[in-house]
Amino acid sequence: MEHTVEMNRARSWLLVLAGGLVAGTLDITDAWAFWALKANVPPQRIFQSVAKGLLGPAAYQGGAATAALGLFLHFFIVISMAFAYYLVAHRWPALRVHPLRYGAADGLLLYGIMNCIVISGTGGFHEAG
């Protein structure tokens, strides 16, 4: 019985990680496409804009190193969001029973938070340069 619980826990962690990686990949791909079409912004600059939240405007001077930090931070944030949903779903069974409905609502909430507070608060990447 204990072995089964451990296997289920390990599977849950893998699913949370996979969900975070998929969501992070889709999100960053959307950012690449949107900003490439709108303002011809290269991917490195997008990653540096994520690092700007931690480093400030100096993130744009760090080249590939701050871009890599931004990429790491992006996935760290998205996987953390997936993990938070997983933890809350243990307390509220409706989130497990209707994952598409509540997952979509959670995604819209997180989108709003990230766009209204985080991205607006840092001024975006177009401020540099």
* pLDDT tens column, 23-73: 999 999 998 899 889 999 999 999 999 999 899 999 999 999 999 999 999
Is pLDDT at 79 greater than 80 in this prediction? yes
pLDDT in tens, 80-116: 999 999 999 989 999 989 989 998 998 898 888 887 7
Let me know the angle formed at the C-alpha of 15 by 79 and 105, rounded to the nearest 5 degrees: 60
Whole-prediction pTM: 0.82
